[in-house]
Structure 1
Amino acid sequence: MKIALMDSGIGLLAATAAVRRLRPDADLVLSLDPDGMPWGPRTPEDLTERALAVAEAAAAHRPAALIVGCNTATVHALPALRARLEPEIPVIGTVPAIKPAAAGGGHLAIWATPATTGSPYQRNLIVDFANGVPVTEVPCHGLAEAVEHADEQAIDAAVAAAAALTPAEVTTVVLGCTHYELVGERIRAAVQRPVRPPLVLHGSAGAVAAQALRRLGEQPAPEAPATGTLTVLLSGREGALPAPALAYAEGRLLRSVSPAR
């Protein structure tokens, strides 16, 4: 079984690691776009064009499914990606975990990029899945960029700034950008109040990985032999994981895997 994942940068690491843990025997193809990143500031049309190119580079390796490991690309490019690749290759998008987070009750904060915060897309998700639950949208200025470059000081500053915008009564935080899952514990430490119950974090990686297996009619097999290979595509060129990826546990999990031949 071969599964491809795509993003402009290393935000796809969280979903990649989740797939690797569920199926150590799966061959993985990671398609990144260092020539075109970041995607966030691009127009929807330009972003869709870049996403299609990255997806087609992955599709050339004949995966059984493609995971869009990026919230922004899912918002703007998912219909075009599905029109281009399905039904031959199922395409699985990444949506913020607002629905399961809201099911727990309590005050909810959604950490997202400034472009996503307050957007019609996110507001519609709140109306659909968190109606009646107190919700605070928190714009995280510079956090995705800091995570992308593994800039420790910039990560600390961006997390602290977003934590300062998060109300003390918040019990649950939705990580609305895949990059944020790579620093989830740092976010938890920054938001957790000493006298409050343990903070609940909701990311999307585990659900996305499980959905990909369901679309393929496969079952999790975490006990399977770790024979899965790894192919990394950098704007269509075969290469290696970007160096900043190894700053995170998810990237180090993949480091020992041999490239596909």
Structure 2
Amino acid sequence: MKEAALGFFDSGVGGLTVVRAVQELLPGEDLIYLGDTARLPYGSKSPETIRQFADEDVGFLLSKGVKAIVVACNTATAHALPMLQSKYKVPIMGVIVPGVEAALADPEAERIGIIATRGTIGSHVYQHALATRRTGLMIYGAATPLLVPLIEENWISEEVTKEVLRKYLQPLIDKGIDTLMLGCTHYPLLVPVLQEVLSDDVRLVNSATTCAEHLKRMLEEMDLLISAKSEGSLEIYLTDLSEQFEELAKRFLSQPPGRIRRAVLGAV
């Protein structure tokens, strides 16, 4: 099983920020990514529908023989991860716990802000995970629905994006946050802009890098790290192919993704 690929899925291409972080940390691993672009966004769907979609995503990745799966989607992690972990024997991890553990790695963290989609903030999954691990925290969640379209429009460095961020973040800044968690896999692309908008004493918790680090520890503990030293491969599957998604994939990976294939779910 050590030589098998690692599987990742998201409702779109945002989870490629996690893939990019894993490529940098574990360059020898083969990776397979599934973006369910035909049915995005998951955040507007019911929990039952999200669980059904996530189950089909896992089924597709398992048909490719993966040794472990990362749910590189905050919404699917929030609503489907426990079900997936109980149903399948393959190791499956999400993006929420790694971020929470990274936020709490600083013993002086007291006021934690979270930015994410409405669905993720509304699920209270981050708030609950933080509160159950450390008492006395002040936790503030902010839904930031305009950020994903701005990122996908490649307006990251535009002044309008900075203004939107200032508008979203000001209530959190007024609360005196010392930590800001990026609760969406698109948001790591905003780190340079966030560093401009926030003061230096606010620590950023990057969902992509924390997930990659957690995955490495899990593979080490289970003795599943690949033994080969050659550079790993990346296969990308999308349920809806379009020029837009291919361009986004290039930008999220910061390198050409190679051939992108179409996936048909429920027929594997």
Q: Which runs of 5+ in 1 are unaligned?
A: none
- Once residues 179 and 166 of structure 2 are traced to their aligned partners in structure 1, the CA distance between those partners, rounded to angstroms, is 17
- Once residues 241 and 72 of structure 1 are traced to their aligned partners in structure 2, the CA distance between those partners, rounded to angstroms, is 20
Give the alignment's TM-score, normalised by structure 2: 0.80
Contact 1:54 1:236 in 2 (8 A): no
Q: How does 1:175-214 map to 2 (within 5 A)?
A: 175-192=182-199, 197-213=200-216, 214=218
Q: How does 1:12-91 map to 2 (within 5 A)?
A: 12-84=15-87, 86-87=88-89, 89-91=90-92
Q: Does residue 134 of the first structure (1) align with residue 141 of the second (2)? A: no
1:146, CA displacement in angstroms? 2.9
Contact 2:51 2:79 in 1 (8 A): yes
Q: How does 1:107-256 map to 2 (within 5 A)?
A: 107-152=111-156, 153=158, 155-168=161-174, 169-192=176-199, 197-213=200-216, 214-215=218-219, 216-218=222-224, 224-226=229-231, 228-235=232-239, 242-248=246-252, 251-253=253-255, 255=256
Give the AA of the match of 1:166: L
Q: Which runs of 5+ in 2 are unaligned?
A: 262-268
Contact 2:113 2:142 in 1 (8 A): yes
Match of 1:100 in 2: 102
- Once residues 177 and 130 of structure 1 are traced to their aligned partners in structure 2, the CA distance between those partners, rounded to angstroms, is 22
- Once residues 27 and 122 of structure 1 are traced to their aligned partners in structure 2, the CA distance between those partners, rounded to angstroms, is 30
- Once residues 207 and 175 of structure 1 are traced to their aligned partners in structure 2, the CA distance between those partners, rounded to angstroms, is 11
- Once residues 190 and 246 of structure 2 are traced to their aligned partners in structure 1, the CA distance between those partners, rounded to angstroms, is 17
- Once residues 146 and 49 of structure 1 are traced to their aligned partners in structure 2, the CA distance between those partners, rounded to angstroms, is 29
Contact 1:6 1:54 in 2 (8 A): yes
Contact 1:39 1:47 in 2 (8 A): yes
Distance change in 2, residues 1:105/1:82 (3 Å)? closer
Give the match's secondary structure for 2:132.
Answer: helix
Give the AA of the match of 1:127: A
Give the alignment's TM-score, normalised by structure 1: 0.81
Give the match's secondary structure for 1:187.
Answer: helix
1:202, CA displacement in angstroms? 0.8
Contact 2:111 2:177 in 1 (8 A): yes
The structure with more helix, counted as a fraction of residues = 2
Give the AA of the match of 2:102: P
- Once residues 29 and 54 of structure 1 are traced to their aligned partners in structure 2, the CA distance between those partners, rounded to angstroms, is 12
Q: Which moved more, 1:124-133 or 1:22-31?
A: 124-133
1:69, CA displacement in angstroms? 0.4
Give the AA of the match of 2:142: V
1:155, CA displacement in angstroms? 4.0
